Amino acid sequence: MLIVMRHGAPLQDIDRVVSTIEDMGYHARPMPGKQRTTVGLVGNDGRVDSSRLEALPGVQEIIHVTKPYKQVSREWKPESTVVRLPGGLTIGGDDVIVMAGPCSVESERQILDAARAVRDAGATVLRAGAFKPRSSPYSFQGMGRAGLKLLARAREETGLLVVTEAMDAEGLDQVLEVADIVQIGARNMQNYSLLKHAGRARKPVLLKRGLSATISELLLSAEYILAEGNPDVVLCERGVRGFDTTTRNLFDLSAIPVVHGLSHLPIVADPSHGTGHRDMVIPMARAAVAAGADGLLVEVHPTPDRALSDGAQSLYPEQFERLMRETRIIVEAIGRRLAEPAGARA
Ligand code: PEP
Ligand code: MN
């Protein structure tokens, strides 16, 4: 529920609303705005009797948030969230950001080659997993902490920011030492203790849609992170399980405008996991940007045939250059810009 205060309502009226909400057994989140302050009521599971609040001085209007998710909804916050990254990059504003790199960090040579290739093609964030959630316990599980160190090196070398996955609370603390953005993968979208930990972190979180998650479940998972105090969440459409095995997943591009309608949070698209085949990545990247995605997450490997994970969907560096060229045309056609490397902004 949202309690909208009158324009210029004095602080004591706002404090009174806050203390009444707390008296009722809920939590209050005052949100000062340009025109007026709104106080959010959280902690309820169902409709709240608002009669005690309606009568308080300074209260203009009470809005019942009808969705099960509250703080992530557009009803709660009509203006789009712009997530700010180091070096002046943003996600969710006019810029469309491209995060690219191999599925996994495999060696120093591999990650540095990949980082240089994606930077030279115009990406601004390096993506690669040090901790890998694999379907089989016998598949490559990632380099772990050593992989994080290599990501830090690659950032130093190239100036790219780093997004990398945390699989559990312990790993999250390690990832937070290095990452500019923490990825929570599809398999962990409903790992509620991990979501709560990420909610207490002070770095942006990239939350991928679960293998069979509805959009509402994705938004409820994001709500866990916001409810713990971290407002910087970027959602990611990466496809859901379908019945047709021609593609690895069913890449749900309609989720992009749906999420933009329901939520103020940015949403990026991952056409690599969405399709599973490198030949399908470029057309679906173009389509995702045309559909309004705030960014792309793309797997690129210097030698995809030798990749230890997701080689079949990883682009060759020259294919990634083409993706960037073609994406730029679409981005500009819809009145947006491709995010530029931090150095180019100075
Ligand atoms: C990844 O980004 O490499 C990954 C494991 O993705 P997802 O969680 O979407 O399967
Ligand atoms: Mn992958």
Average model confidence (pLDDT) across the chain: 96
Res 84: pLDDT? 98
Per-residue pLDDT tens digits for 178-236: 999 999 999 999 999 999 999 999 999 999 999 999 999 999 999 999 999 999 999 99
The neighbouring-strand residues paired with 37 are 32
In sequence order, what are the residues at sequence separation of 6 or more whose Cβ sits closer than 8 angstroms to the Cβ of residue 146?
Answer: 130
Q: For position 8, what pLDDT does the model report?
A: 92
Question: Going along 209-249, which residue ranges are E strands?
Answer: 233-237
User: Measured from the CA of 299, which atom of ligand 1 is nearest?
Assistant: 3
Position 265 scores a pLDDT of 98
Quote the CA–CA distance of 130 and 148 in Å, as a whole number: 6
What is the number of the ligand 1 atom nearest to the C-alpha of 236? 9
Distance 343 CA to ligand 1 centre (A): 29
Residue type, 182: V
pLDDT at 345 over 70: no
**Do residues 234 and 83 touch, judged by C-beta distance below 8 A?**
yes
pLDDT number for residue 66? 84
155 C-beta closer than 6 A to ligand 1: no
Q: Give the whole-angstrom CA distance, residue 77 versus residue 63.
A: 12
Q: Does 213 contact ligand 1 (Cβ within 6 A)?
A: no
Q: Is 186 near ligand 1, meaning CB less than 6 Å away?
A: yes
The residues placing their C-beta within 5 Å of ligand 2, an ion, are 103, 310
Segment 224-252 shows an average pLDDT of 97
DSSP state letters, 251-275:
--TTHHHHHHHHBSS-EEE-HHHHH
* Alpha-carbon gap, residue 44 to 60, rounded angstroms: 21
Checking 281-284 for CB contacts under 8 A at 24+ apart, the result is 281/313, 281/315, 281/319, 281/323, 282/315, 282/319, 282/322, 282/323, 282/326, 284/251, 284/253
163 ligand 1 Cβ < 6 A: no
In ligand 1, the atom with minimum distance to the C-alpha of 183 is 2
129 CB within 6 A, ligand 1: yes
Instruction: Evaluate if residue 346 carries a pLDDT over 60.
Output: no
Residue to mutate (ligand 1; options 126, 183, 272; most atoms within 8 A of CB): 183
Q: Give the distance from CA 128 to its chain's centroid.
A: 15
CA-wise closest residue to 288 among 263, 264, 240, 323: 323
Ligand nearest to the CA of 310: 2
The Cα–Cα gap between 272 and 310 comes to 9
Instruction: With a cut of 90, say whether residue 40 has pLDDT above it.
Output: yes
Average pLDDT over residues 270-291: 98
- DSSP E strands in 85-175: the ranges are 90-91, 95-101, 125-127, 161-165
Q: For ligand 1, say whether the CB of 302 is within 6 Å of any of its atoms.
A: no
**pLDDT surpassing 70 at residue 271:** yes
Q: What is the model's pLDDT at position 14? A: 96
103 lines ligand 1 (CB under 6 A): yes
pLDDT band at residue 344 using 50, 70 and 90 as cut-offs: low
pLDDT digits (tens, 9 = 90+) for 57-93: 999 999 998 888 999 999 999 999 999 999 999 999 9
Residue 343: its pLDDT value, please?
Answer: 59
pLDDT, tens digit (0-9, with 9 covering 90-100), for 166-190: 999 999 999 999 999 999 999 999 9
Helix-helix angle 169-178:145-158, to 10 degrees: 20
User: What DSSP designation does 291 have?
Assistant: T
The bound ligand whose nearest atom lies closest to the alpha carbon of 132 is 1
Q: Which run of H or of E encompasses 174? A: helix 169-178
Q: Is the CB of 273 under 6 A from ligand 1?
A: yes
Gap between the Cα atoms of 221 and 196, Å rounded: 10
What would the mean pLDDT of 269-276 be, rounded to a whole number?
Answer: 98
Nearest residue by C-alpha to atom 10 in ligand 1: 186
Q: Could you give the CA distance from residue 241 to residue 230 in angstroms, rounded to a whole number? A: 29
| Ligand 1 lined by 278 (C-beta under 6 Å) | no
How many angstroms separate the alpha carbon of residue 201 from the centre of ligand 2? 24
Question: Which residue is listed with tokens 């399908």?
Answer: 280
Query: Is residue 70 within 6 Å of ligand 1 at its C-beta?
Result: no
Q: Looking at residue 76, what is its pLDDT?
A: 93
User: E strands of the chain, at which residues?
Assistant: 2-5, 27-32, 37-42, 59-63, 83-84, 90-91, 95-101, 125-127, 161-165, 181-184, 205-208, 233-237, 267-269, 295-299, 337-338
